[in-house]
Amino acid sequence: MLSLRRKTVNAVMLSLTGVCTFLAVGTLLFVLGYLFFHGGTSLTLDFFTKLPTPVGEPGGGMANALLGSAKLLLLASCIGIPIGFLGGVYLAEFGGSSFSFVVRYTTDLLNGVPSIVIGIFAYTLIVLPQGHFSTLSGGLALGVMMIPIAIRSSEDFLKAVPVSMREGAMALGASKAKTIFTVVIPAAKAGLITGIMLNIARVAGETAPLIFTAFGNRYWSPGWEQPTAALPVMIYTYAISPYADWKQQAWSAGFVLLMLVLVINVSARMILSKRGHVAR
Amino acid sequence: MSATAPTAFEARPSGRASAFWQRLRSGDDIAYVITLTCALTILALAALLVFELYTNSTLPREKFGWSFLTGTTWDPVVGQFGALPFIYGTVVTSALALLIGIPLGVGAAIFLAELAPTKVSNGLTFLIELLAAVPSVIFGLLGIFVLVPALVALEPAIRAVLGWTPLFSGPFYGVSMFSAGVVLTVMIIPFIISISREVILAVPTEQREGALALGATKWETTWNVVLPFAKKGIMGSIFLALARSLGETMAVTMVIGNEPKIHESLFAPGYSIAAVIANNFAEASDALEKGALIELGLVLFGLTILINGLARVLVLSTTKKGAR
Amino acid sequence: MTRRIFIVNAALAAALTVGVASAQQVLINAGGATFPYPIYSKWFDEYHKKFSNIAINYASIGSGGGIAQVTAGTVDFGASDGPMTDAAIKEFQDKRGSAILHFPTVLGADVPTYNIPGVTASLNFTGEALAGIFLGKITKWNDPEIANANPGIKLPSTNIVVVHRSDNSGTSFIWTDYLSKVSKEWEMKVGRGTGVNWPVGLGGKGNEGVSGSIQQTANSIGYVEIAYAIQNKMVYGKVKNPAGEFIQASLASVTAAAAGMKDMPEDFRVSITNAPGKGAYPISSFTWLLIPSKIADPAKKKAIKDFLAWMLADGQKMTEALTYAQLPKAVVTKELKAIDKIQ
């Protein structure tokens, strides 16, 4: 029979985890709710279709910032995710212990670099030689931020796949590469997608690296070589202004940014899974 | 991946040249080279970053030398710069964030992975991951307009419980290291919860069933069997969270009070490295100040190396004791 | 599955790369001070409506940022709340091979704003009072220096909580410039700059942070831009000017400060804090556009010169609505002539 002490410990600890969840989820729901009430309720179609207007003039929107953020995220993902993911594969599957240690350590270091320093870094390396601000430099700055996060999370999830699965595949005669790509990665898929989504989410909200690279633009920005507006930068600029109208738009933009990430999240999960849902 | 072992898919050809092509076709070496290159880009990036930080901070390094690390004045007008208050603020706020965030995050992850029904768990986790997308600026605004007044209201309660320590003494104006620590906690929790939950879910059910069959309670199973299995992944999420809190800029600068002085009490204002760089870089037109800010970036890099090293030693020592 | 990903990605990339292109568009990039951003965005927008092929893209990256970027050549012109120092001008000359010209655009002001429970009136402050408060020497609200200027208002004996800007900014430059003029001690101990080593006080980020801190901290005092104070209906005090009057900052009193200035130097780099003249508000300042004297691209050169002329005429009429003070007529006339210096 189970002792009373063990039963009590069990009940108490499990309830505590419930409390933790309640606190975490409560905070989150509060943030989302606040954003919704301050930003979502005053959202109009103009926000999605019009260019910014000066303060006080109604009918302004952030259409160019939406497109700009999308382009920046696309470029950043194309750079950051493949490199980071494959680096994570190396660490999880091939790495010898001392070299992997160094790589892992360095990854954690890069994760801790403030985003503004990455922005200054990209400014020195790309903007100054080119002589102008551009979407390209902004995307590259964000991509550089994505790589260490992607390596870390990919490695964690790949390593979580039980050794038995790998051994089973190899016993059937599969080469290492085949094992990785046909057995390990699909098994870790749910976690890998989580990691990628967290990565995109994190980078989507970054402001500081874009100030010195993408710069900002009140108009449309065709191609990749011109400065571009981005949602986080617009939020920052409007939120610290004195005008109620702009502050309102800042909250709306914050809400829209969140929704943008949500859409990416949902569509990615749909596209990357068989039969339209991620098995769990 | 020996080239001499016959595979189920190809017959074994003879000769050295064909052995080479066979190894290539088997894909192992290609996979190895490609993934190795990607892993190397991290080292290349880090080296490039350190190089840039080093070369752009020559002015202050030559002027101050090592005393930059112990200096406590930040005066752009006379050109005197010191990093100690910022180091202190960065370490204190991150430590606070981890202290609150780890138990909260891992606790919630356990609940979501072990206790909550699947649909609820998936739904809530999806929403929690969204928190990671909230821009720092918004957290900063929520910080000034919601969190700080809330903390000001809660202050008497906190003081009643913890006021006897020097950590919670002195006047409280709302903007403080404590507020910054709390904001950071909210920002790092999505990472800890999301990743920990996934790793816990990945623990094979046989392990749990084995423990339960031996008569363990659910909590005992979780604490003694599941968590150790998931430890590496949880540690990974904590490192990510630590990294985020060390480098977080916008949200911190809006609630920390931005005073470059060292105070004992968490209720006092402080300043972090990332915050001071963000605040002053755009406006610093003087080369010495710009260089000093970049040197602060270098200092943060060094600080991160140190903290990560200490954290790893901690992990290694606890792992040696336990099985696995 | 991989094919699906590839197709979707390719489609996305194609869609996003197209964008909206316009023929014959002259795109001019500019960046700098945050303070005049609202009026600049209004001007550039109105100008774009008049001449739809000219797009002037301005981003507020800070006065220092404006100076740095125009010197680096990444923007076509910059903007700053504080005039460039001689050293900065020389650096521009060395890097870009031409001179840099200053063109004042509007006037702004810093106001002392406070939160004292029970006090809703606009308090009078002398220069010495403000300097003393920010130096940390005047610590209580009922200090004689403050009380004597406000007979009839009951001030509490509570401690003053000082709030200043934590980020470098033109707003701080104006404030510290003024304090340096009214207090020798301030000038020696702290000095003037976009960022200084504040003797006391909490730091708030941006006007937002400062006003937020003040709203939530009883017995606090800080400084914000006038546009900010008026738009957010904050209570702010009057400041004593050299003529001995306690003046409330307003568009009229700010323009008077500029008008009261006798000799406007040829390069327009001048500080008008503590300006002489009746009705002048002492904590006022110009804000400038920083334009290279040589612009290579003829289309850009014409666009910028035309814009400046428009700004000095029609543009000035739009300032009041956004709580910025116009330039006095004498300055406008001088500037119109200076436009010819742009080659």
| pLDDT tens profile C235-285 | 999 999 999 999 999 988 998 888 877 778 888 888 889 988 889 999 999
Q: How confident is the model at residue A233 (pLDDT cuts 50, 70, 90)?
A: confident
Count CB neighbours of C337 within 10 A.
Answer: 9
Tell me if A242 and C207 make a contact (CB, 8 A cut-off).
Answer: yes
Per-residue model confidence (pLDDT) at position C22: 45
Q: Are B269 and B256 in contact (CB under 8 A)?
A: yes
CB proximity list for C225: less than 8 A, separation 6 or greater: A242, C35, C108, C109, C110, C111, C171, C207
pLDDT at A15 over 70: yes
B142 reaches A (C-beta below 8 A): yes
Residue C311: CA count within 13 A, CB half-sphere: 25
Closest residue to C1, CB basis, from A70, A131, A274: A274
User: What pLDDT, on the 0 to 100 scale, is given for residue A190?
Assistant: 80
Does residue B122 or residue B169 have the better pLDDT? B122
Instruction: Check CB contact under 8 Å for C212 and B145.
Output: yes
pLDDT in tens, A126-142: 888 888 889 999 999 99
Mean model confidence pLDDT for chain A:
84
Residue A278, pLDDT score = 43
Per the model's pLDDT, the better-predicted residue between C64 and A87 turns out to be A87
Contact residues on chain A for C44, CB-CB shorter than 8 A: 218
Q: What is the rounded CA–CA span in Å between residue A91 and residue A76?
A: 22
The per-residue pLDDT for A71 is 93
Which residues of chain B have a CB within 8 Å of the CB of C205?
140, 253-254, 258, 279
Q: What are phi and psi of A51, to 5 degrees?
A: -85, 165
Model confidence over B55-77: pLDDT tens digits?
Answer: 888 888 888 888 888 888 888 87
Tell me what pLDDT residue B11 has. 52
Average pLDDT, chain B: 83
Which of A15, A118, A175 is the best substitution to test chain B (most B C-beta atoms within 10 A)?
Answer: A175
Identify which of A52, A71, A242 has the shortest CB distance to residue C231. Answer: A242
Instruction: Say which DSSP state B267 is in.
Output: T
Cβ-based contacts of A220 with chain C (< 8 Å): 19-20, 22
Q: Looking at the DSSP assignment, which residues form a beta bridge with residue C30?
A: C58, C77
C286 phi and psi, to 5 degrees?
-80, 165
pLDDT of B302 > 80? The answer is yes
Q: State the pLDDT at residue A46.
A: 80
pLDDT confidence of residue C21:
45
- Torsion A207-A212-A218-A220 (CA) sign: negative
Cβ of C225 within 8 Å of Cβ of A242? The answer is yes
Subunits with 3+ Cβ pairs within 8 Å of A are: B, C
Q: Which of residues 163-182 of B touch A (CB under 8 A)?
A: none
Whole-number pLDDT of residue B170: 81
Average pLDDT, chain C: 87
**Percent of chain C topping pLDDT 70:** 93
Share of chain C above pLDDT 90, in %: 48
The three-state DSSP-derived secondary structure of chain C is CHHHHHHHHHHHHHHHHHCCCCCCCEEEEEEECCCCHHHHHHHHHHHHHHCCCEEEEEEECCHHHHHHHHHHCCCCEEEECCCCCHHHHHHHHHHHCCCEEEEEEEEEEEEEEEECCCCCCCCEECHHHHHHHHHCCCCECCCHHHHCCCCCCCCCCCECEEEEECCCCHHHHHHHHHHHHHCHHHHHHCCCCCCCCCCCCEEECHHHHHHHHHHHCCCEEEEEEHHHHHHCCCCECEEECCCCCEECCCHHHHHHHHHCCCCCCCCCCCCCCCCCCCCCCCCEEEEEEEEECCCCCHHHHHHHHHHHHHHHHCHHHHCHHHCCECCCHHHHHHHHHHHHHCC
B258-288 residue pLDDT tens: 888 888 888 888 999 988 888 887 766 677 8
At residue A189, does pLDDT exceed 90?
Answer: no
Confidence of residue C19 (pLDDT cuts 50, 70, 90): very low
Give dist(CA C106, CA C320) in Å, integer.
10
Q: How far apart are the C-alpha atoms of C260 and C263, rounded to whole Å?
A: 9
Longest dimension (CA), chain A: 77
Residue ranges of C 219-248 with Cβ closer than 8 A to chain A: 225, 227-228, 231-232
For range C28-49, the mean pLDDT: 89
Instruction: Indicate the pLDDT class of residue B16, thresholds 50, 70 and 90.
Output: low
Q: Is B165 on the interface with C (CB under 8 A)?
A: no
Structure tokens at B6: 């016959």
Residue B203 binned pLDDT confidence (cut-offs 50, 70, 90)? confident
In chain B, what percentage of residues exceed pLDDT 90?
Answer: 18
Of B75, B152, B285, the CB nearest to C64: B285
Q: Is C215 on the interface with A (CB under 8 A)?
A: no
pLDDT number for residue B324: 42
> Is a pLDDT exceeding 90 seen at residue B102?
yes
Q: Is a pLDDT exceeding 50 seen at residue A6?
A: yes
Residues in chain C: 343
Residues in chain B: 324
State the pLDDT confidence band at C189, using cuts at 50, 70 and 90.
Answer: very high
Q: At what angle do helices A135-159 and B28-55 cross, to 10 degrees?
A: 130
The per-residue pLDDT for C110 is: 93
Cβ-Cβ pairs closer than 8 A, A with C, add up to 98
Q: For residue A280, what pLDDT band results from cuts at 50, 70 and 90?
A: very low
Q: Do B284 and C168 touch (CB under 8 A)?
A: yes
Q: What single DSSP character describes residue B117? A: -
pLDDT the model gives residue C210: 86
Q: Is B313 on the interface with A (CB under 8 A)?
A: no
Give the mean pLDDT of A15-36: 87
Strands B74-75 and C54-60: unpaired
What per-residue confidence (pLDDT) applies to C56?
92
pLDDT at B323 over 50: no
Chain A residues lying within 8 Å of C37, measured CB to CB: 237, 241
User: Mean per-residue pLDDT for B171-197?
Assistant: 89
* pLDDT 10s digits, C197-214: 899 988 887 787 788 788
Crossing angle of the two packed helices B287-321 and B227-247, in degrees rounded to 10: 170
Q: Worst-scoring range by mean pLDDT, A5-19, C12-26, C111-125?
A: C12-26
Confidence class for position C6, pLDDT limits 50, 70, 90? low
Q: Is B80 helix (H, G, I), strand (E, B) or coil?
A: strand
pLDDT band at A235 (very low <50, low <70, confident <90, very high): confident
Using a CB–CB cutoff of 8 Å, tell me whether C4 touches chain A: yes
Q: Name the percent of chain B lying above pLDDT 70.
A: 89
User: Closest Cα of chain C to B279: distance in Å?
Assistant: 4
Residue range C142-179, pLDDT digits in tens? 999 999 999 989 999 999 999 998 877 888 889 999 99
Query: Are A242 and C12 inside 8 Å of each other by CB?
Result: no
Mean pLDDT for the stretch of residues A86-113? 86
Q: How confident is the model at residue B111 (pLDDT cuts 50, 70, 90)?
A: very high
Please determine, for residue B124, whether its predicted confidence score (pLDDT) is greater than 50: yes
C65 chain-B contacts, CB cut-off 8 A = 282-283
Nearest Cα of chain A lies from the Cα of B180 at a distance, in angstroms, of 16
Selected residues 3-42 of chain B with any CB under 8 Å from a CB in chain A: 7-9, 26-28, 30-32, 34-39, 41-42
User: Per-residue pLDDT tens for A250-271?
Assistant: 888 888 888 887 787 777 777 6
Cβ–Cβ of B259/C63 closer than 8 Å?
no
